[in-house]
Structure 1
Amino acid sequence: MGSIKAFGAQSAESGVHPLPIERRAPRPDDVAIKIDYCGVCHTDIHFAENDWGRTLYPVVPGHEIIGRVTAVGEKVKKFKVGDVVGVGCLVDACRHCAACEDGLEQYCLEGSTATYNGRDRHDQSITFGGYSEAVVVSERFVLRIPDALDPATSAPILCAGITTYSPLRHYGVKAGDQVGVVGMGGLGHMGVKFAKALGAEVTLFTRSESKVGEAKKQGADRVVVSTDKEQMKAIAGQLDFILDTVPVQHDLNPYLNALRYDGKHILVGLLEPVEPPVQAGALVGKRRVLGGSLIGGLPETQEVLDFCAEHGISCDVEMLDINHINEAYERMKKGDVKYRFVIDMKTL
């Protein structure tokens, strides 16, 4: 491919600006993709600003990629030129460990390769993401976008969608279950939609009274303002499952007490130490489970795309001119987007 246009960060303080990058020519199992849309995830901000102390600069963010196939390698069988496809959070893994053989490449025992800020397993070059004109990815890590889905609103399904769908499916949420969703952002609103589509009755937890009406519009059957002790007391012991999408430290104990015995509280947003500490008695006394979940493997990501097409589910998005990406980051930090930005790459 050679040199293409992209946007990236040169340092933690630089912001995201035009940054030409090199893309490889397709290998025999590769698919070359012209990018039409790229979702903006809060993880993009963390890497652009080195919040986690492991950014490899320059960094080109973007792991919610939708585009059209422009070329395929000689060994590619599943895709052809013109197909609408997606690329999510991963572009490679060892492919032979127990996790990879189970279609759980996100848990690859040798370490999976992230779509950006990773290391190519062939030549150790830094991987660059979807804030760019085009990308080249191994066929195994390319996803088919169903015709029924709008490509623009499908982009966040590749991260926000699979992150919330995977634990609901893994832990067996089914019709009639009582499911709680903590947080009403990009992940939370998708969690509500998926739980409803699976037949559950959904309770949305929010700290803000202003989000009560908004949550019900998204399909929540009940909304609990988590700062109201009486409302939290009233829901104690009622839920089978809690999907916790909040990405910052928060007290888990009141939510654990909202679970029935054998209830499960799954974290998908929090990567920091839990503060304040979890009261172990709340787990032991009711055989409750506190766990975590990370995106999904390639088979499950294809499954969620097909599920969305079948059930008419899409992410609520605001389209973005890439030249305004730094302003978008500032708005995201303030929670001022409903619920995900998606870059129209024609603005690159």
Structure 2
Amino acid sequence: MNFTAGPLFALISASLLLACSPKEKPQKQERPTVVVSTTVKQGELPQIINTSGHVEATQMVEIRPQISAQIAGIHFKEGDEVKAGQLLFTLDARNDMAQANRSQAVTQQIKAQLAEADRNLSRSIELAQAKFISPSAVDTARAKAESLRAQLAAAQADQTAAAVQLSFTRIVAPFAGRTGKINIRTGGLAQANSSEPLVTLTQLDPVRISFNVPERDLPALLAARAQLKVAATLPDGSKREGKLVFLDSSVEKNSGTLLAKAEFTNTDRQLWPGLSTGIQVQLSNEQGMVLPLQAIQTGPEQRFVYVIGPDQKVQAQNITVKRIHDGQALVDGLSVGTKVVREGGQNVRPGGKVLEGSRPAKASSEASAK
């Protein structure tokens, strides 16, 4: 009984082991990721420098007195818009007026004496020719006339100086602008050596905006200077075009930038000195390889794109981004006609297969899940 049962038991045990052994599962085939593709094209993008700047007054001057005198009158109000040559202050002019009148009187007196001396000289010459007086008498008359002529020149110089001194009692605006705070009142003593000005005058139209441009853009900036367009963003969000009026002669070493200034009209007074504003400098257009900005991925060290090969597999290709404008990028490192992943690049891996569609991988996966 035991002899016959042994082989039968072994056969049954082997059959059970075969029945219980796991079957080999077929490998799961990786599904391609759905992406939206685009093709690299030859094109051009405007070279635009976007930066920020600060508004500066074209002219700003501290109005100070040339002489020390009492303020006789103030002919404007704080914050007034004044014209060039408009009277701002008058100082007490009584002493200076008296000095000017005295200088004028001295000049007139010497003029009369000189006229008489010239007549005497003429008569002396006639008498000497007729042998009625000696030649030395003529020399004396001539010396007196020349002396008075020199005195007249000195008197006229004194009169001019007195007139200049008198003019200092009337302070006028050197240019059209806006007045600031008045630091003195009528009856106060205006001192020539005071540390505080009477008032500050600021020209508000036109104004200038100073800004910095990167040194790498200097060649393009110089090449396009004649056709250069500079625009400023106003506080209300609108743009205003100006013209480049200044480019510094050296690059700042620490920042690697170059100081520039542009001039803008400001009749509506939207640009106020000290205001910070956005600046856009448009240079000439630059040719190169263009693709949508969406296609560019950012790696730990460099930007790249996913290139789609003929076998629908993707590989990462490093690129250099030269310009970005209006959703388009000008790049180096690709050739015309290269097909790259535009949308869905965050879901693909180098070497993986992709399926080009109208929706990126995320949208396709959600549709499959539903």
Structure 2 length-normalised TM: 0.19
Asked which structure has the greater RCO (Cα within 8 Å, sep 6+), the reply is 2
Which structure's CA Rg is the greater one?
Answer: 2
Q: With structure 1 as the length reference, what TM-score do the two structures score? A: 0.20
